[in-house]
A and B are shown apart, each in its own frame.
Chain A
Amino acid sequence: MDTDALRELTFTDSKDQLRFITCGSVDDGKSTLIGRFLHDSKAIYEDQLQALARDSVKHGTTGDDIDFALLVDGLEAEREQGITIDVAYRFFTTPRRSFMVADTPGHEQYTRNMATGASNAQLAVILIDARKGVLVQTKRHSYICSLLGIRHVVVALNKMDLVDYRKEVFDRIVDDYVDFASNLGFTSIAAIPISARYGDNIIRLSRNTDWFHGPCLLDYLESIDIQSETAGLPFRFPVQWVNRPNLDFRGYAGTVVSGSIAVGDEIVIPASGRNSRVKQIVTYDGDLVRAEAGDAVTITLTDEIDIGRGDIIAKPTERPEVADQFAAHLIWMDQEPMVPGRSYAFRIGTQSIASGSITAMKYRIDVNTGAHVAARTLSLNEIGFCNIATVLPAAFDAYEANRRTGSFIVIDRDTNRTVGAGMIAFPLRRAANIAWQPLSLGKKERAALKHQRPCIIWFTGFSGAGKSTIANLVDQKLFAMSYHTMLLDGDNLRHGLNRDLGFTESDRVENIRRAGEVAKLMVDSGLLVICSFISPYKAERDMVRDLVDDGEFIEVFVDTPIGECVRRDPKGLYAKAKSGTIKNFTGIDAPYEAPSAPEIHLTTLNQQPERLADTVLNCLATRGIIVPANRTEN
């Protein structure tokens, strides 16, 4: 093994790979810069260069010259529009270091893609157009970089060719930037005057800026010492998967995200408080004595304790937080605004949490000034600070302390879109202070006394669909059969418990949350609880479903077409909604999300309410909730 090639093979080991992003405002030259890097570091092959020349003629923005941005803007839509839409991940290697660079889009509309690129970067090259100076997007991107934990920044003052390479321009803008960025917590800021298009100060110093003494951008990136983020941190091992090939082996597979662990070390599962010791650290290449940050291993323990995917293995002396409420920064990434109180799915480390919600919006952050602005919600690309509650406690660290165990994503439970990304600031202790009071009598005992199976029978549908009428009949019939029931009607609750709520999306969410909690208490007391609420959003109906045990939530979709409801208009509300006297009326100027798989689907056109109520009773009987014949045992 003595060829040149092999000696070359070891060069990349002298320094670890540097992962960085380019960001900044629209058209500041981010993609051109990366294209230039790839080209000048010979990462581009001849056939690709020929393709680039052809592309430049067709899509280029640079006249007769080669448009380096086209090396990176790889989607058809991007080439046609001459902008970047999504992140491109590119790789290049120099004799001193290897690089993975994420080229991010400057357009505000695609900020979530910029955040995607920034989340795994150690350094950001922030481009600024020398003609334009620091813009809103420059600030937004800097802010997001800071929030996501990037500590090293290079300000690349681009398009110096268009300002005659003047030092004053450079000085003025760099001063502006440093002024703005001084409270963003960056450890290093370097500023370099460049021209991405003509290659000044990129891989070598340029004569055009004789007042600048370097280093050039590449030198800087090759030599900057980014200390390992994870080495000195407490040991964290989120369990990904339990490996059970046979009865004699039970291993916990995962990646050490920070710190290190050795065979014989004592460990704890923070969520359960159970302790054990490391027996083996298994890998395909042989057992290890010690595993360190970045190692993907399988750990076995000396004791059989209950551990599953989502648990974090830690050391007893350095535990993560465990809480079901925490405060966090949240970047909203969906077209649909965030709705406080709505049930979303969460992913924190390897823990999937089926339901949680934003319980309080503290403030929104104005990225331009850093000011805290009062807000009740977050729209696409907005950043805020809020309290979050999850149905199950999660183990985590503050994001500032550990990027890997302090981050989470928010997922829409219906569409499964990733709608938000968050960084945990601190746990809220309330969960720990309000302990559950153990009760001697439970749902089972209370229901047994009444000889019935408690449940929620939830009627949903448009106003005027017939929910209350049918619900009332069902209630009467069950009562006549000697079942203990209770009926909760949306209109009635709004006279009391929910008197303070209006009809905005977030008030509707809160309306259903309260009704759901009340219904759950009644289920606990052993009742058959009949609920009649428009409940237009699937997420909230599912939230109530999750409050009770499997099989205890019977969703009844009262399916009356909106046209028919408008025609009936029993309370004259549709007329008012149409004239604009009332706002946010479901079916008129507010949406209704029909259930996709209700337990009972009632099509009401040309049907008598009596018959429909009987249909409901039949279904309840089929599900074993009621006994079809009159009950005689009472």
Chain B
Amino acid sequence: MSYGKLDYRNGDLPRGEPQMFRMNAQNITKPQTRTLPRHLRRLEAESIEIMREVVAEFSKPVMLYSIGKDSSVMLHLAQKAFYPAKVPFPLLHVDTTWKFREMISFRDETAQRLGINLIVHVNQDGIERGINPIDSGSTLHTQVMKTDALKQALDLYGFDAAFGGARRDEEKSRAKERIFSFRSQGHVWDPRNQRPELWNLFNTRSRKGETMRVFAISNWTELDVWEYIMLENIPVVPLYFAKQRWVVHRNGTLIMVDDERLPLAPDETPELKMMRFRTLGCYPLSGAIESDAANIKDIVAEMQVATLSERQGRLIDTDEVASMEKKKREGYF
């Protein structure tokens, strides 16, 4: 105990043992190939460790691929984790059929470029029922075309673990979730009864019908993600970069007119605006921001002075109070 030595009432800093610096030949010859800052190296290593755990412990893992920036980072990390082997699991995209066209082409290019097996799942039942974000409303659309569709796909292929790209800094119920998030039969999350998760000792055991959602980039922040994309040169969907695009003002945000399916009110006339997206989803539900940030450097700069959160553009979150937690309890990723 050294508290006796310091006058804590005057707030003296505790003095540890004098630090030793050892210089030896090996320290000097270490090749300086990586330019990542230390905190990103640590996050990267942590995510790689999590991914390897899943592949070692589960029989049929899958990566949920939403095409966004977080998915791009996850995919990049997966390539690192298993190198020189190929990524040993498929990607699953749950397609609501209302994604931006640029997302879909980016998705297909990516899968092809990396030679990864991509599974696209659409809830056919929902299509037949005519569910869509415009007439059905965002809540029902999300429930049927995302949550139910995801559960369908996981059951159909028998995946026992699914990587998700959610981060704890995104939303306050996410901040409460474990890295290995256990889902009982029916993919249900029970926030009051999560498994303790100490050290890096993940309890990966589950019974038949139970599954695991694994959030490999839980501890990354939005800024970490962009810094990493920039420093590692990771390709992302061009919609993140500012460009003149056709938009309408709706519910206090900008909605992009991505195709002819978006019905326009009499007083709505599409106009060309310099804009970009902070998050991507179904185009009628994704609000854009006015921005001139046309490259990643600009995006990072913009983010540092941003006054609104990234989720602010997502119409689905504000539907009801505590809606994210509710959706997750129902099996949302």
Contacts and interface: CB of A to CB of B under 8 A. Distances in A.
B37 A190 contact: no
Chain B interface size band reads 35 or more
Contact of A224 (B14, B200, B218, B325): B14
Contacts of A171: 9
B244 to A, nearest CB: 23
A262 B24 CA distance: 13
A75 B199 contact: no
Given A241-B55, A289-B29, A255 B308 contact: no
Contacts of B322: 76, 79
Contacts of A376: none
B194 interface: yes
B31 A289 contact: yes
Interface stretch (A132-140, A180-188, A623-631): A180-188
Interface in B184-241: 191-192, 194-203, 205-207, 210, 218-219, 221, 223, 227
Interface stretch (A390-398, A413-421, A552-560): A413-421
A354 B202 CA distance: 15
Given A75-B176, A76-B325, A418-B203, A262 B52 contact: no
Q: Which of B198, B297, B312 has the most CB of A within 10 A?
A: B198
Given A77-B192, A255-B45, A294-B42, A186 B3 contact: yes
A74 B325 contact: yes
B304 interface: yes
B192 to A, nearest CB: 6
B84 to A, nearest CB: 5
Among B11, B39, B174, B192, find the residue whose CB has the most chain A CB atoms closer than 10 A. Answer: B11
Interface in A1-28: 1, 3-6, 8-10, 12-13, 16-17
Contacts of B210: 416
Given A6-B297, A294-B42, A284 B79 contact: yes
B34 A285 contact: yes
B42 A240 contact: no
Interface stretch (A43-51, A316-324, A425-433): A43-51
Contacts of B39: 12-13, 16-17, 98
B8 interface: yes
Given A77-B192, A243-B82, A191 B9 contact: yes
Given A6-B297, A225-B16, A284-B80, A409 B198 contact: yes
Contacts of A255: 45, 48-49
Interface string B285-327: 0000000000001101100101111001000000000100110
B199 A290 contact: no
Interface in A274-328: 282-286, 288-290, 294-296, 298, 309
Contacts of B172: 71-74, 88
Nearest to B47: A296
B261 interface: no
Nearest to A188: B14
A3 B33 contact: no
Interface in B69-93: 79-86
A503 interface: no
A243 B85 contact: yes
Contacts of A213: 10-11
B287 to A, nearest CB: 11
A188 B301 contact: no
B1 interface: yes
A83 interface: no
B26 A404 contact: no
Given A3-B301, A224-B14, A89 B31 contact: no
B44 interface: yes
By secondary structure, the A interface counts as mixed
A407 B31 CA distance: 33
Nearest to B207: A416
Contact of B84 (A98, A249, A290, A345): A249
A12 B9 CA distance: 29
Nearest to B227: A9
B2 interface: yes
B102 interface: no
A345 B207 CA distance: 14
B85 A100 contact: no
B300 A9 contact: yes
A174 interface: yes
A354 to B, nearest CB: 10
A217 to B, nearest CB: 10
Contacts of A74: 171-176, 325
Nearest to B12: A190
Contacts of A1: 297
A446 B203 CA distance: 41
A112 B223 CA distance: 31
A13 B34 CA distance: 13
Interface stretch (A113-121, A434-442, A542-550): A113-121
Interface in B145-195: 168-169, 171-176, 191-192, 194-195
B23 interface: no
Contacts of A89: 168, 175, 218-219
B11 A220 contact: yes
A178 interface: yes
B84 A243 contact: yes
Given A12-B39, A76-B325, A215 B8 contact: no
Contacts of B9: 170-171, 174, 191, 212
A157 to B, nearest CB: 11
A96 to B, nearest CB: 13
B249 interface: no
A45 B312 contact: yes
B86 A245 contact: yes
B29 A91 contact: no
Nearest to A77: B192
B11 A187 contact: no
Interface in B1-28: 1-3, 6, 8-11, 13-14, 16, 19, 26
B11 A212 contact: yes
Interface in A73-95: 73-77, 79, 85-91, 93
Nearest to A151: B16
A46 B26 CA distance: 50
A361 interface: no
15 contacts: A5-B300, A17-B42, A71-B172, A74-B174, A189-B3, A212-B11, A213-B11, A215-B11, A284-B79, A290-B29, A296-B49, A296-B52, A350-B53, A411-B205, A416-B206
Interface of A: 1, 3-6, 8-10, 12-13, 16-17, 45-48, 71-77, 79, 85-91, 93, 98, 100, 112-113, 115-116, 119-120, 152, 170-171, 174, 178, 182, 185-192, 212-215, 220, 223-225, 227, 240-241, 243-245, 249, 251, 253-255, 262, 282-286, 288-290, 294-296, 298, 309, 333, 345, 347, 349-350, 352, 403-404, 407-409, 411, 416-418, 421
Given A89-B175, A296-B81, A298-B84, 19 more contacts: A12-B39, A16-B39, A47-B312, A72-B175, A73-B172, A79-B322, A91-B169, A186-B1, A187-B16, A188-B2, A190-B8, A190-B14, A192-B11, A253-B52, A282-B84, A294-B41, A298-B83, A411-B203, A416-B206
